[in-house]
């Protein structure tokens, strides 16, 4: 059986706005190029918000479906991926708020967990001993449990700021909130994490 060759990657000439315009004009291949260009980034973002791997794929698919349906409304006033991130975040937040299939915030690695918690020293340096690895694993579990207790709004803002490392201006565009609110949410999330990590027993946070 002859396999269908994969779609070519977007060329530098295929700017986002150009691909959007071609899609709106009826060129389905143009939208496929947009999906190819941003699918991994969108799945990575969603994967930092939800735990269920099947749910990640579902939310990503729904994100692109919603984007396709709303593409005619994109005017290029913001960068396309900022607009797409907003759709992905809103779709993921809806899943989090509805408790769909036990979705919770989840960090993919210990490094990211420590970064979000503002405690990178928890991971140490060099090759850790078994005792250190166990201690680090417990610390990471505490950070993840504490982050999971934050409200969805605080969680996603913290992830965008500390894991995605986006500037506050861009986060404000994605979440459609003032920059001052972004700064407040990041500071409040960090304050609550620090409070919970300093006052809550590890065994309680890990539950």
Distances (CA, A) of 120 to 28, 114, 180: 45, 5, 26
Give the tokens for residue 105: 């915030």
Taking only the tens place, the pLDDT of each residue in 60-87 is 999 999 999 999 888 777 889 899 999 9
Burial of 174 (0-12, 13-18, 19+ CB in 10 A): buried
Just give the CATH number of 107-207: 1.10.10.10
Query: The whole model's pTM is what?
Result: 0.66
pLDDT of residue 180: 95
Q: Write down the domain spans for the chain.
A: 12-104, 107-207
pLDDT value at 3 more than 70: no
pLDDT of residue 150: 81
Domain 12-104, CATH number (from 2.40.50.100, 1.25.40.10, 1.10.645.10, 1.10.1740.10)? 1.10.1740.10
Taking only the tens place, the pLDDT of each residue in 122-168 is 444 455 555 544 544 556 666 767 777 788 888 889 888 888 889 99
């Amino acid at each position: 059986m002859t396999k269908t060759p994969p779609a070519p990657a977007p060329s530098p000439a295929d700017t986002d706005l150009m691909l959007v315009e071609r899609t709106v004009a009826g060129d389905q291949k143009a939208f496929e190029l947009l999906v190819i260009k941003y699918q991994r980034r969108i799945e990575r973002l969603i994967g930092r918000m939800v735990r269920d791997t099947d749910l990640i794929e579902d939310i990503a698919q729904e994100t692109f479906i919603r984007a396709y349906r709303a593409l005619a409304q994109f005017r290029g006033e913001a960068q396309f991926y900022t607009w797409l991130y907003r759709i992905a975040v809103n779709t993921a937040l809806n899943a989090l708020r509805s408790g769909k299939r036990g979705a919770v915030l989840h960090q993919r690695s210990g490094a990211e967990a420590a970064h979000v918690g503002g405690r990178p020293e928890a991971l140490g340096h060099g090759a850790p001993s078994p005792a250190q690895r166990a201690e680090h694993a417990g610390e990471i579990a505490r950070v993840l449990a504490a982050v999971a207790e934050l409200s969805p709004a605080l969680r996603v803002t913290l992830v965008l700021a500390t894991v995605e490392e986006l500037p506050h201006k861009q986060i404000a565009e994605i979440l459609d909130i003032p920059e001052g609110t972004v700064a407040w949410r990041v500071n409040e999330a960090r304050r609550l994490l620090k409070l919970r990590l300093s006052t809550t027993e590890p065994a309680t946070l890990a539950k």
